Amino acid sequence: MPFWKKKKKVLSVLSDGAGDSNLVVSESLTSNEAPGLDDKPIDEGRLGMFILEDKPSDALTIIDIVAIHGLNGHYQNTWSATAPSGEQVNWLKDLLPRQIPNARIMSYGYNSAVQFSKSVAVTETFAEQLLEDLISWRNSYAEQRRPVIFICHSLGGIVFKQVS
């Protein structure tokens, strides 16, 4: 069975009010099964441009790398995995700076939990916000002249295409 069709097991503690508690295992839909149907409010703290590896703004030999996650993605979790040691590794933050030491690495977060029935205007809005955030982080003369490399996953590629 594909991972997006698997049910998530949830552990809950139920109390009868008299101090006795029972541990209950239940199954629920994952966000991948029902995109856009999640009733939770959007976490505004995960939206916008995030600097994962910063460099001096006046350096002339620096490049900017911007990662854009895909559908139901997250600016950090999309690029992370658990190593065999059990440690959580974000390859943008933990591995890429060693491979490209002259890069400022950024990740763009946007509300990607949309339904496909929505208008193209939604991706245009994400693209406008991306462009505004990128411009606001490229203030100095040296930053404005830096090459930019985009790493896009899934819907992130469509958002980037709307920018160009």
pLDDT one-digit tens code per residue, 103-153 = 999 999 998 876 554 545 588 899 999 999 999 999 999 999 999 999 999
Helix (H, G, I), strand (E, B) or coil at 115: coil
The parent domain of residue 72 ranges over 45-163
Domain total in the chain: 2
Same domain assignment for residues 54 and 25 = no
DSSP lists the bridge partners of residue 66 as 106, 150
Whether residue 121 lies inside any domain: the answer is: yes
Whether residue 38 lies inside any domain: the answer is: no
- For the entire predicted model, the pTM comes to 0.69
Whether residue 40 lies inside any domain: the answer is: no
Half-sphere exposure of 32 (CA within 13 A, CB side): 10
Same domain assignment for residues 66 and 134 = yes
Same domain assignment for residues 83 and 114 = yes
